[in-house]
Amino acid sequence: MESLDQLLIQASARIDEADDLEILASLESELVGKKSFIASTRRGLGRLPSEERPIVGAQVHEVQTRLQQLIDDRRAVLQREAEDRLLEQDRVDVTIEGYEPPVGMHHLLTQTVDEVVDIFTSLGYRVASGPEVELGWYNFDALNTPPTHPSRLESDTLYVEYGDSSDEMLLRTHTSPMQARYMEKHDPPVYVVVPGRTFRADALDATHSPVFFQIEGLAVDEDITFGDLKGTLAHFAREFFGSERKIRLLPHFFPFTEPSAEMHVSCFACDGSGCRVCSGSGWIELMGCGMVDPNVLEAVGYDPQRLSGFAFGMGAERIAMVRHGVNHIKHFYENDLRVLRQFS
């Protein structure tokens, strides 16, 4: 009985000093486990006189219960402390500035094409698209381009199948084939804008690439005049380059328009006084345009006596270079993040 009392006193102090769950588990095995003094005393109860067994047995049970309670209480304390340490390690300081992952952006050419398309769709134009591998008839013949035209030479055009115009296939040299394709399937009036990639056998230099984006526009209706063309392009120039911009149309030649013109816009950098951007002229060449040739209307079954129209085509790279001061077309295709991030 005295040994049990002494064990309870000594064990209580040892349990309070245990500062680790593993130490406490080892101490529990020593105090109340199968090889403990408590266990050996319980096994020896049968050797005691019968009148002493209940007294000693009750004392053993009380001491064991008390020790187990002290151990459980201490374990609960140590577990809470361990959890607190884990929580402290995982604590998030909400006052620290958070990490912002880089956000993607549209490429400058995509931004340019989208803005141009938005300008014309706001006027009621529809957006159309067509195949990049095109038939020679749509790329040339339907657009009043004869077999003898120099643009049909292999030095200028990238052919997939070269032969007679009836079966030759090529990478389209412009988005203008959609003029014929669209008019074949739609009755007038026609107001359509066609963005897309085009291909030519050009050497890469500051302003030319064998692959580039073009945006074609076509309007066909009754009583359309050259004045409608000029007014439409003047509206585009003001919307894209600024409200003070002016345009001028200089005579030119394209097989599928007659009369044809080159459109120039007053320089937005110097307001027409002359600078490096406009090479001192005060004007920037921007696109080709003109009235749809009657032969193009006849080729798709339209009546040129009743209908008239205009068409225009611009390079997305060209107008992006002019607007943003990009000095080489290669910057659009090299995927240099230093360049791309400037237009985010």
214 vs 283, more confident = 214
Q: Residue 163's pLDDT band (boundaries 50, 70, 90)?
A: low
Rounded-to-integer distance, Cα 289 and Cα 247, Å:
13
Q: Does residue 224 surpass a pLDDT of 80? A: yes
92: Cα within 13 Å, side-chain hemisphere: 3
**Looking at this protein, which amino acid is placed at residue 27?**
L
**CB within 8 A of 343, min separation 6: which ones?**
105, 108, 111, 324
154 vs 60, more confident = 154
**Nearest 10 degrees: Cα torsion 252, 253, 254, 257:** 80
Partners of 198 in the beta sheet? 212
Rounded-to-integer distance, Cα 178 and Cα 128, Å:
8
- Is beta strand 283-292 parallel, antiparallel or unpaired with respect to 308-315? antiparallel
Contact 201, 157 (CB under 8 A): yes
Rounded-to-integer distance, Cα 224 and Cα 298, Å:
17
Q: Residue 12's pLDDT band (boundaries 50, 70, 90)?
A: confident
**In this predicted structure, what is the pLDDT of residue 166?**
61
Dihedrals φ, ψ of 49, to 5°?
-55, 150
**In this predicted structure, what is the pLDDT of residue 277?**
67
Q: Does residue 164 surpass a pLDDT of 70? A: no
Contact 18, 74 (CB under 8 A): yes
> What are the strands, taking DSSP E only, across 10-137?
126-127, 133-135
Rounded-to-integer distance, Cα 195 and Cα 213, Å:
7
Q: Residue 1's pLDDT band (boundaries 50, 70, 90)?
A: low
Token pair of 238 as six digits: 């003001």
Rounded-to-integer distance, Cα 80 and Cα 95, Å:
27
Rounded-to-integer distance, Cα 279 and Cα 284, Å:
8
Q: Per-residue pLDDT tens for 293-314?
A: 999 999 999 999 999 999 999 9
Rounded-to-integer distance, Cα 250 and Cα 258, Å:
13
Rounded-to-integer distance, Cα 179 and Cα 148, Å:
22
Contact 191, 307 (CB under 8 A): no
**In this predicted structure, what is the pLDDT of residue 181?**
93
